[in-house]
Amino acid sequence: MKHVISLSPHVHSGDSVQKNMYGVCIALVPALIASVWCFGLGAAVVLATSVAACVLCEWAITKFILRREVVTILDGSAVLTGLLLGFNLPSNLPLWIIIIGAVVAIGVGKMTFGGLGCNPFNPALVGRVFLLISFPVQMTTWPVAGSMGYLDCETAATPLAVMKYAIKSSDPGVLRQLPDSIDMLIGMTGGSLGEVSAICLLIGCAFMIWRKIITWHTPVSILVTVAVLAEVMHLVNPAYASAEYVLCSGGLMLGACFMATDYVTSPMTHKGQVIYGVAIGVLTVVIRFFGAYPEGMSFAILIMNAFTPLINTYVKPKRFGEVKK
């Protein structure tokens, strides 16, 4: 009788790539419900198209270009990229633009570098930023919350645009156009699909921390940094919106909880994750308050993705028995 011979350990935690990827997808469900609540059909069409396009694109590239056996297609990573890309788009975006976004996200952002685990940049953000630069008009025309149709929607300025305008005009009075902060937290404001309800995203984040899918280091360091910086700026000059508006507007929650915490493109040590999170927070506030774009989260995360290998080389975990210097 032949027995299996292998080295220890002989048992496993039962964790898997699928469990983690679909765990993140489950964490996105509250935000998904909120976006469908706010944008109705448009949200459903955009998300479905984005997920389907990402999965199909990965399948096609694996099969026809890489000519590998298609095994990773249902590991959840392509579905997750599709969901996150969809959450970064407005609900009235034409199908063909979504598909271009998906092809860039999966094709350029992920498969070019070798597929799962090899990409230096967050694929969903690569797709979003590509679309933002290529189709600036379509990507920044947001339907108002409650417009339940797909292409034919009423559009309006988002809280982020209002905040930018207040800074440009140096008039704190402009900020009075913002919804009150409770509405900002709960949602029902204009913006991309995943940007509406901060509280739903936080629930998702808490779920991921509870399920040990991620640790608190990255999201907390981003949120704390942004809150502190924004509040200081607000005290110095009231034309800058206060911390609760900065935190609950735009893609900040989505970015801090779901984009910056992407396994592949964030640092491997807790210390490194804190450095990464603080830097993303600083960059976001700088771009929002001083840059040309109203939103800085995507750029901040992509810039710090590029620094991740350096952070990994520089920051080492605390070794057991290390002599404190």
Partner 1 sequence: MKTFSIGGVHPAENKLSAGSPIREAALPKQAIFSLFQHIGAPAKPVVQKGDKVKVGTMLAEAGGFVSAPVYSSVSGTVSKIDAVIDASGTRRSAIFVDVEGDEWEETIDRSATLVTLDQRPDLDAKAIVEKIKTAGIVGMGGATFPCHVKLTPPPGCKADCVIINAVECEPYLTADHRLMLEHADEILVGVELIMKAVACTKGYIGIENNKPDAIALMREKAAAHPGIEVVPLKVKYPQGGEKQLIEAVTGREVPAPPAIPINVGAVVQNVGTAFAIYQAVMKNKPLIDRVITVTGHSVTNPSNLLARIGTPMSLLMDECGGLPEDTAKIIGGGPMMGKALVNLDVPMCKGSSGLLIMNDSEAHRPNVQPCIRCAKCVSACPMGLEPFLLATASAAHNWELVEDNMITSCIECGSCQFTCPSHRPMLDNIRLGKTTVMGIIRARAAAAQNNK
Instruction: Tell me which residue has tokens 């598909």.
Output: 99
Q: Give the single-character DSSP code of 71.
A: -
Q: Which of residues 96-125 bind partner 1 (CB under 8 A)?
A: 115-118
Interface stretch with partner 1, choices 11-19, 42-50, 56-64, 248-256 (CB under 8 A): 11-19
Please tell me whether residue 323 binds partner 1 under the rule CB under 8 A.
Answer: yes
Minimum CB–partner distance for residue 59 and partner 1 (Å):
17
Minimum CB–partner distance for residue 85 and partner 1 (Å):
18
| Residue 63 or 318 with smaller CB distance to partner 1 | 318
CB atoms within 10 A of CB 139: 21
Residues β-bridged to residue 143: 155
Instruction: Tell me which residue has tokens 């149709």.
Output: 149
Please tell me whether residue 168 binds partner 1 under the rule CB under 8 A.
Answer: no
Please tell me whether residue 10 binds partner 1 under the rule CB under 8 A.
Answer: yes
Question: Which of 155, 157, 270, 282 touches partner 1 by CB under 8 A?
Answer: 270
Angle formed by the axes of helices 217-236 and 270-290, to 10°? Answer: 30
Residue 299 in tokens = 């750029």
Task: Say how far apart CA 285 and CA 108 lie, in whole Å.
Answer: 28
Residue 32: in which H helix or E strand, if any?
helix 29-39
Please tell me whether residue 325 binds partner 1 under the rule CB under 8 A.
Answer: no
Angle formed by the axes of helices 297-314 and 123-134, to 10°? Answer: 140
Task: Say how far apart CA 2 and CA 77 lie, in whole Å.
Answer: 37
Question: Which of 5, 137, 236, 292 touches partner 1 by CB under 8 A?
Answer: 5
| Amino acid letter, residue 42 | G
| Residue 75 or 183 with smaller CB distance to partner 1 | 75
Minimum CB–partner distance for residue 321 and partner 1 (Å):
4
Classify the C-alpha dihedral 302-29-93-252 as positive or negative: negative
Interface stretch with partner 1, choices 9-17, 139-147, 199-207, 299-307 (CB under 8 A): 9-17
Residue 148 in tokens = 């339940």
| Residue 93 or 275 with smaller CB distance to partner 1 | 275
| Residue 7 or 236 with smaller CB distance to partner 1 | 7
CB atoms within 10 A of CB 149: 15
Please tell me whether residue 16 binds partner 1 under the rule CB under 8 A.
Answer: yes
Please tell me whether residue 3 binds partner 1 under the rule CB under 8 A.
Answer: yes
| Residue 77 or 92 with smaller CB distance to partner 1 | 77
Binding-site residue total for partner 1 (CB under 8 A)? Answer: 40
Residues β-bridged to residue 155: 143
Please tell me whether residue 63 binds partner 1 under the rule CB under 8 A.
Answer: no
The full DSSP string for 248-260 is HSTTHHHIIIIIT
Please tell me whether residue 322 binds partner 1 under the rule CB under 8 A.
Answer: yes
Task: Say how far apart CA 160 and CA 248 lie, in whole Å.
Answer: 10
Please tell me whether residue 9 binds partner 1 under the rule CB under 8 A.
Answer: yes
The set of residues, in sequence order, having a beta carbon less than 8 Å from that of 8 and lying 6+ positions away, is none
Please tell me whether residue 64 binds partner 1 under the rule CB under 8 A.
Answer: no
Question: Which of 268, 290, 310, 314 touches partner 1 by CB under 8 A?
Answer: 268
Residues that bind partner 1 (CB under 8 A): 1, 3-13, 15-17, 19-20, 72, 75, 77, 115-118, 215, 263-264, 266-270, 316-323
